[in-house]
Amino acid sequence: MNANHYLYAAYIATWAIHGTYLYILARKAARVRKDIERLKRSG
Amino acid sequence: MKRGFTLLAIATALLLSFALYAALVIAPTEQTMGNVQRIFYYHVPSAWVAFELFLINFVASVFYLIRRSTKADILALVSAEVGVVFCTVVLITGPIWARPVWGIWWTWDLRLTLTLVLWLIYVSYLVLRRFSTSSQTPLLAAVLAVFGALDVPLVYFSIWFFRTQHPAPVIGGGGSLDPRMGWVLLYNWIAFMCLAWLVCWTRYRLEVAQRAVHESEAMQSLMEGAR
Amino acid sequence: MSETQSTPVVAADGLIKQFGRFAALRGVTGEFAAGKLYVILGDNGAGKTTLLRTIAGLAHATRGKISVLGSTDIGASRAQIGYMAHPSLLYDEMSGMENLRYFSELYGIPPADVDKRCREAIHAVKLDPDLDRPVGQYSQGMRQRMSLARALLNDPKLLLLDEPFSNVDARSAAEMAVLVAQARDRGKTVFVVTHQPAQLEAYADEFIWMELGRIVDRTATLQGSRA
Amino acid sequence: MSFFAITRATLTKDIRLEWRSKDAINAMLFFSLLVVVIFSFAFDPTAEESRRIAGGLVWVAFLFAAIVALNQTWARELRNQVLDAYRVSPAPATPLFIAKAVGNFMFVAVLEALMTPLFVAFYKLRALGPAWQLLPIAVLGTWALVVNGTFFAAMSLRTRAREIMLPLLLFPLSIPALLGMVNATTAVLTGESSPTFWIALLVAYDVVFTTACLLMFDAVLEAE
């Protein structure tokens, strides 16, 4: 594990963390959109 | 509104890629630590953005306690959540940096430890919001946020003095700060702030939609009730 | 009647109480005059208890306004409210007198009168003040009556009773009904939430029918309702 | 209906109930004994070493005992919804908080009074520094845990997993106080440094959070 590996690991980790959070948000947004559709239909 | 959002998204993407390029190529290699020092351009700006978000959370919480405005409550929730994400980045990149340079995964460095404690406080803030069964969850969260903010100076001084008694390597201080490095640091900071702004905006709109859905579902049976 | 007929003791306007996706109250409006015995009926989940707790100031409406004893600031009218619920709201390990002595402090009854007031309250519910047994060892009927004594301790203008008759033997229930009617005859306004309206059929002034968080009907007699 | 009268009445009521059914205090005393014994098995340092780590061990043991005691703060008020009887009365919320916090402080102090001699015996402790300073440190440190603990015990009443929520809310905020207690105690035990900074930190912590608790307890109590 020479120094560069640590560097890339840190950068990749940063985007992995942000990516995971954005993925969670996307899934939550999809669920909300589905609820809105359901409410519109039966509202 | 929609146009503003996409503009910001594009700007953020450009800024982030340029900042990445700057961090990896433009910035000079630091003599003592070599390339691994470039983690500095992600580690330190992320910490600054995290602290800014927690500051926004504190201000929004105080504003909620005074004015009880739902907007302030949603802003407090959003800034806490995104703040924790940036904090996690700091807590992961810190040890990855410390390992090759000092051979240790963790050091009670002042800023790193402060970030850890803030991370613990704001995770407990998010857990309280999730587990609360009270109809006044925003109020409880705002109170906890104020307690958290009151804690920060005490945490700072306790760790500062603790470090003077147990000296430990400093993350982020270390190498000489060449002016070009300063610029690259600034690019990254701005890029990360744009990212934070973008994510907060999305999360804010999502929360507003979520609450609207909850409300209409709750009132849905109002329609049934009023037949 | 000390209370003039015109000013309502309780005035609710569009009360909504929301817990996330569920709404316990979905728009309750109504005025309730002084010196009357109101019986609130409805299935489970109709919002009866939530409405009673909102009047008592124990729950706060998410939206809408409520004025109790002429003021919307709940703190002002607490000295004139008596509240009783299915749980006894008494300390099991203390005797009736000890419980009432403690609550006298909370209602600011001057120390000189405490003993007299407590004995009167216990006599009023046909119990023996010198009974030295802890409340935990009382029968359910006795415990409900001691709880009523606590609710009457500060001679309140407004009496709020939540399920006073539930799992109480018939004789105690009948006696409780008489005590409640007597309180109304002394000029108090009484709200009773119950699943056994028959007990109060002879005494009640008005029946309030609730369904899905709304008042759907108000009738003078138990039969005169669509439900 | 004076402020002090209600505080006194609530505190004496709690003490009388605690005294009458001594099961809670006995269970807690036995629990504290267990914690000390287990700690003594887990760590078996030489006399010199023990002085250096005893501060941390003692305070973590005290924290264990305090958390279990703090989780019981509102147990009696919840049993028959007696808390509603208090909230419906015109009595202000702050006397209730002070009475509960002081009650908890006395309760935890009793536990600590039992655990301390056991620690001294098991770890053969002898303070090289001024031993009398350990008393103010203990008082300030215990109050720091108890005042916030009582406050967050009330807050966690409004959540689902009540027993786990209290430590989750309390521990992150107590980190400066814990650092203060542990380092002050170690400074006195080893006599190598002076605990004054840490004692000042504990005083600041207690003042800040006692004020915050007094100001915001009403809002938390009313958050149905």
pLDDT score recorded for residue A43: 60
Give C103's contacts in chain D (Cβ within 8 Å).
Answer: 85, 89
Give B140's contacts in chain D (Cβ within 8 Å).
Answer: 155, 158, 220, 223
- Render pLDDT for C123-158 as a digit per residue (tens, 0 to 9): 988 888 888 899 999 988 889 999 999 999 999 999
What mean pLDDT value characterizes chain D?
91
Residue C170: is its pLDDT beyond 90?
no
- Render pLDDT for B54-106 as a digit per residue (tens, 0 to 9): 999 999 999 999 999 999 999 999 999 999 999 999 999 999 998 888 888 98
Least confident stretch, A16-25, D27-36, D93-102, D195-204: D27-36
Q: From CA B106, how far away is CA D196, in angstroms rounded? A: 28
CB within 8 Å: D6 and C105: yes
Give D158's contacts in chain B (Cβ within 8 Å).
Answer: 132-134, 136, 140
Q: Report the pLDDT averaged over residues D168-176.
A: 96
Which ipTM was obtained for this model?
A: 0.91
Q: Report the pLDDT averaged over residues C179-195.
A: 92
| Distance spanning both ends of chain D, measured CA to CA | 25
Which residue in the set B36, B43, B92 is minimally distant from A3, CB to CB? B36
Interface test with A, best of B24, B74, B92 (most A CBs within 10 A): B92
In chain C, where are the structural domains located?
34-57+73-219
Share of chain C above pLDDT 70, in %: 96
Give C106's contacts in chain D (Cβ within 8 Å).
Answer: 1, 6, 9, 85-86, 89-91
Which of the listed CATH numbers 3.20.20.70, 3.40.50.300, 1.10.730.10, 3.90.1150.10 matches domain C34-57+73-219?
A: 3.40.50.300
CB within 8 Å: C106 and D1: yes
Residue D153: is its pLDDT beyond 50?
yes
Q: Report the pLDDT averaged over residues D117-146.
A: 90
Cβ distance D179 to B121 under 8 Å? no
Beta-sheet strand order (sheet of C158-162): C81-84, C158-162, C189-193, C37-41, C206-211, C214-219
Three-state secondary-structure class, residue D18:
helix
- Render pLDDT for D7-46 as a digit per residue (tens, 0 to 9): 999 999 999 998 988 888 888 899 999 988 888 888 876 6
Residue of B nearest to D181 (CA): B158
Q: Do chains D and C touch (3 or more CB pairs under 8 A)?
A: yes
Residues in chain D: 224
Interface test with B, best of A14, A35, A37 (most B CBs within 10 A): A14
**Given CB atoms, is D126 within the 8 Å cutoff of chain C?**
no
pLDDT score recorded for residue B224: 53
Cβ distance B175 to B41 under 8 Å? no
Cβ distance C30 to C218 under 8 Å? yes
Cβ distance D159 to D71 under 8 Å? no
CB within 8 Å: B42 and A18: no
Residue B22: is its pLDDT beyond 70?
yes
CB within 8 Å: B215 and C214: no
Interface test with A, best of B17, B31, B53, B93 (most A CBs within 10 A): B93
- Render pLDDT for A3-42 as a digit per residue (tens, 0 to 9): 789 999 999 999 999 999 999 999 999 999 999 998 888 7
Give C7's pLDDT tier (boundaries 50, 70, 90): confident
Give B173's pLDDT tier (boundaries 50, 70, 90): low
Choose from C96-105, C169-178, C213-222 the range with maximum mean pLDDT.
C96-105
Q: Report the pLDDT averaged over residues D168-182.
A: 96
Residue D62: is its pLDDT beyond 90?
yes
pLDDT score recorded for residue C196: 85
In chain D, where are the structural domains located?
3-222
Cβ distance B83 to B119 under 8 Å? no
- The letter for the amino acid at A22 is L
**Given CB atoms, is A42 within the 8 Å cutoff of chain B?**
yes
Interface of D with B in 134-173 (CB under 8 A): 148, 155, 158-161, 165, 168-169, 171-173
Q: From CA D4, how far away is CA D27, in angstroms rounded? A: 31
- Nearest partner of B102 among B178, B42, B165, B36, judged by Cα: B36
Q: Tell me chain C's radius of gyration from C-alpha atoms.
A: 17
In chain B, where are the structural domains located?
43-168+178-207
pLDDT score recorded for residue C227: 46
Three-state secondary-structure class, residue C162:
strand
CB within 8 Å: C94 and D81: no
> Using N-to-C axis directions, what is the helix angle for D93-123 and D3-20, rounded to 10°?
50
Q: Which chains touch B (3 or more CB pairs under 8 A)?
A: A, C, D
Residue D190: is its pLDDT beyond 70?
yes
Give C2's pLDDT tier (boundaries 50, 70, 90): very low
CB within 8 Å: B221 and C23: yes
Cβ distance C160 to C81 under 8 Å? yes
Q: Which chains touch C (3 or more CB pairs under 8 A)?
A: B, D
Q: From CA C189, how far away is CA D41, in angstroms rounded? A: 65
